[in-house]
Amino acid sequence: MPYTLDQLNTASQAEAEKMLDGLYEHTPWIAAEALKHRPFKSLAQLKHVMAEVLARADQDAQLALIRAHPELAGKAMVAKTLTTESTNEQGKAGLTDCTPEEFARIQKLNADYNAKFGFPFILAVRGPRGTGLPRQQIIEAFARRLDNHPDFELAEALRNIHRIAEIRLADKFGAEPALGNEVWDWHEALATHSDPGFAEQGQLTVTYLTDAHRACAAQIAGDMAAAGFDEVHIDAVGNVVGRYKADPAVRHPKTLLTGSHYDTVRNGGKYDGRLGIFVPLACVQALHRTGQRLPFDVEVVGFAEEEGQRYKATFLASGALIGHFRPEWLDQADADGVTMRQAMQHAGLAIDDIPKIKRDPSKYLGFIEVHIEQGPVLNELNLPLGVVTSINGSIRYVGEFIGQASHAGTTPMDRRRDAACAAAELALYLEERAAKDGDSVATMGLLNVPAGSINVVPGRCAFSLDLRAPTDPQRDRLAADVLERLQQIATRRGITFKLEETMRASAAPSAPAWQQRWERAVATLGLPAFLMPSGAGHDAMKLHEVMPQAMLFVRGENSGISHNPLESTTADDMELAVRAMQGVLDELAAETAKP
Ligand SMILES: [Zn+2]
């Protein structure tokens, strides 16, 4: 019989410790210490408290925990001296059936890894879905992590240990993330569609209105219909729109809008965008299964285009909902010379109807969006969810310092007009100035000495500036300081510069009431409501222009890497995202029902 949370909360300390025995390999003190913080609202809270206990422990204690783990497919496995939990995990991942070549490869990796880091390689081999990673993926992860910096790898090992504990805890409490598993499986199925040239290599690329893109739309529409949406259609720009209608007793119900995009970058991840479609799908499915109706309609939109890959029309899909579709885009051609108009006609879209999909904001309560974080913050903090305070505003520039190219051997240091040194100085200033704000970011992503040579003082240096901050005034102060410093550097070094502003996007601060609904929903799950800005742009930025919006972030694995095939989250984190959205729906239903 699996334990219940109630049993854990009411048991004596000794009994409770016994219930959690084996969560952390040969290291019972973590659970023991965490149990002093009972009662727990949820297993999510218990997991968070255990992660905090370990984070506060000194490094020796952390290392001892890592070293208490057996090597993967190592001597202990062969000699059958693993703990029951480890035997189960390594067996599920098929490590007990390694071919002689695989076994030899793993032994070599074990030896190299131990020599570099001084502790065994730890990987939650049951993987993000809990069903076991394929051996090939385990070996690839092993080889990849060998290249990590030791500080980072120590943290990564601890994160994997928490994931192992999470799965062991779910086993003890019979707490399968059923909703999260469904959300996971929808993503897997959708990821089988990929554009030609990428599909063959096992890469995921879905760009606007390709065959794979239209197959995705059809699949999402089918998933929506199966989940119990009342109306499902594909609109004039290729958005998949599902509506779950309000309780018929409610007269003139308003609509809650939610969703995200299903297109991807080239060789991208499976969860960017799509998580924001499937999480609300799971919510509607749960409502439908229990025959529940809310006092408002729920409209879920799978946006057709956000990434701007095939055509330079980023946010085309969410933009169309607020009347921002620009007819001149239709004549833009892709790399193969196919215009957007031709692509739309080929897909059978009714181009003339595009203006009609503009929404009337007065009919909407607001917009919420769930998205994978696409950054390392939640992963580092061992937090599954984060509440977004604002989508950062940004300004981009491209520029060039123009100094004097001269002989690297004969030009004395005090007679140089080195354009690259000027850019380097500016890059270091960006780093220092953005850090001072705490939540601003500034990047010189392009830095190039055109036609440079090893024995020539750089006469020109081209660079880019990408400046972002949670509010427009903060962004503007950052930009003003950077431009002032750029001017000073040029003057002092006796060089000139060119600078062109190429992009300016306003910040989209979350509507306070909507942000607070997410905060309360996360807190109800027993988790801290961690507040963070979004460094990346999202569909919510567009809807922000016409209605209140707020976003929820979900932790990404692998240090939150995104726009990359390694992008991942777990079924457990997906489950929490579904539960958080259910919390927002419940609260909104209670508010709306009030006279
Ligand atoms: Zn996205």
Q: Give tens-digit pLDDT for 479-526.
A: 999 999 999 999 999 999 999 998 888 999 999 999 999 999 999 999
Distance 244 CA to ligand 1 centre (A): 24
Distance 273 CA to ligand 1 centre (A): 4
> Quick one: pLDDT at residue 558?
87
> Quick one: pLDDT at residue 463?
97
Tokens of 164: 């192992």
What is the percent of the chain with per-residue pLDDT over 90, rounded to a whole number? 89
Distance 47 CA to ligand 1 centre (A): 28
Distance 370 CA to ligand 1 centre (A): 10
> Quick one: pLDDT at residue 539?
95
Q: Which pLDDT tens digit goes with each residue over 443-468?
A: 999 999 999 999 999 999 999 999 99
Over range 82-104, report the average pLDDT: 84
Distance 577 CA to ligand 1 centre (A): 16
Q: Give the integer Cα–Cα distance in Å for 67 and 154.
A: 11
Distance 541 CA to ligand 1 centre (A): 12
Distance 150 CA to ligand 1 centre (A): 31
Distance 323 CA to ligand 1 centre (A): 21
> Quick one: pLDDT at residue 594?
63
The pLDDT mean for the chain works out to 95
Q: Is the pLDDT of residue 292 over 80?
A: yes
Range scoring the smallest mean pLDDT among 36-40, 207-211, 525-529, 563-567: 563-567
Contacts from 7-13 at CB under 8 Å and sequence distance 24+?
Answer: 8/38, 8/40, 8/46, 9/38, 9/39, 9/40
Distance 296 CA to ligand 1 centre (A): 27
- Comparing C-alpha atoms, which of 374, 358, 223 is closest to residue 300? 223
Over range 560-564, report the average pLDDT: 89
Distance 478 CA to ligand 1 centre (A): 26
Q: Is the pLDDT of residue 97 over 70?
A: yes
Range scoring the smallest mean pLDDT among 90-94, 298-302, 464-468: 90-94
Q: Give the integer Cα–Cα distance in Å for 225 and 213.
A: 19
Please count the other Cβ atoms lying within 10 Å of the Cβ belonging to residue 398.
15
Distance 268 CA to ligand 1 centre (A): 10
Distance 371 CA to ligand 1 centre (A): 7
> Quick one: pLDDT at residue 49?
97
Q: Pick the more confident residue, 594 or 239.
A: 239
Distance 305 CA to ligand 1 centre (A): 10
**With bands split at pLDDT 50, 70 and 90, how would you rate the model's confidence at 595?**
low
The per-type count for the chain, helices as H runs and strands as E runs, is 21, 16
Q: What letter does residue 489 receive in the DSSP assignment?
A: H
> Quick one: pLDDT at residue 335?
92
Distance 259 CA to ligand 1 centre (A): 11
> Quick one: pLDDT at residue 87?
83
Distance 539 CA to ligand 1 centre (A): 8
Distance 499 CA to ligand 1 centre (A): 30
> Quick one: pLDDT at residue 321?
97
